[in-house]
């Protein structure tokens, strides 16, 4: 299904319902989804989640061993997803510990939005116009 939506950007959360880290991350994921809807970006950014204990992994380049895992499928290039990886200093003495902490650096849905925008695949002018269109329609309703 994700692969069929070539014109949309897709953010996919891979989780397991019994995973404590996944439950914690789901709070931020739900906030991220709310932000996308509030900004009127839903027509451009598709936010999905899948429980890997109940479903097959939907792409050959996705590794569902470390959960939660987030993958970004840019519009037009679904063959090569971008994994949201941990932020860590590879030269640090604590590099392995920092890497093992996974997505613990995410503390809100805004962190996910910021990461996605840093990938440089989004049309920022289009997103700005979608947000402006929503603001204009709200003004007209008042």
| Closest to 70 (Cα-Cα) out of 36, 126, 109 | 109
- Mind listing the pLDDT tens digit for each residue in 6-29? 888 999 998 888 888 889 889 999
- Residue 8 has a CB neighbour count (10 Å cut-off) of 17
Residue-wise pLDDT for 73-125, tens only, equals 998 877 888 888 765 555 555 544 444 556 777 889 999 999 898 888 888 88
Please report the pLDDT score of residue 134 as a whole number. Answer: 61
* Dist CA 6 CA 87 (whole Å): 29
Per-residue confidence (pLDDT) for residue 63, from 0 to 100: 72
Model pLDDT, residue 135: 53
Residue 28: predicted pLDDT = 94
Q: What is the pLDDT of residue 83?
A: 86
Helix (H, G, I), strand (E, B) or coil at 83: strand
Please report, in angstroms and rounded to a whole number, the separation of the first and last CA atoms in the chain.
38
pTM of the model: 0.78
Closest listed residue to residue 7, CA positions, set 121, 134, 112:
121
Between strands 45-51 and 9-15, the pairing is parallel
Residue pLDDT, tens place only, 47-67? 999 888 887 776 777 777 778
Give the angle subtended at the CA of 43 by the CAs of 42 and 44, to the nearest 5°: 90
The answer to whether the CB of 13 falls within 8 A of the CB of 106 is: no
Cβ proximity of 18 and 75 under 8 Å: no
Nearest to 109 by CA among 13, 48, 25, 19: 25
DSSP helix/strand/coil, 120: coil
pLDDT score of 139: 46
């Amino acid at each position: 299904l994700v692969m069929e939506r070539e014109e949309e950007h897709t953010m996919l959360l891979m989780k397991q319902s019994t995973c404590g880290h996944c439950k914690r991350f789901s709070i931020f994921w739900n906030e991220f989804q709310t932000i996308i809807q509030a900004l009127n970006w839903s027509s451009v950014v598709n936010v999905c989640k899948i429980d890997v204990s109940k479903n097959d992994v939907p792409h050959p380049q996705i590794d569902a061993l470390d959960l939660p895992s987030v993958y970004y499928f840019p519009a037009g290039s679904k063959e090569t997803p971008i994994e949201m990886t941990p932020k860590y200093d590879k030269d640090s003495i604590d590099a392995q510990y920092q890497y093992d902490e996974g997505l613990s650096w995410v503390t809100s849905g805004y962190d996910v939005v910021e990461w996605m925008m840093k990938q440089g695949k989004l049309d920022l002018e289009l997103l700005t116009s979608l947000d402006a269109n929503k603001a204009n329609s709200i003004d007209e309703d008042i």
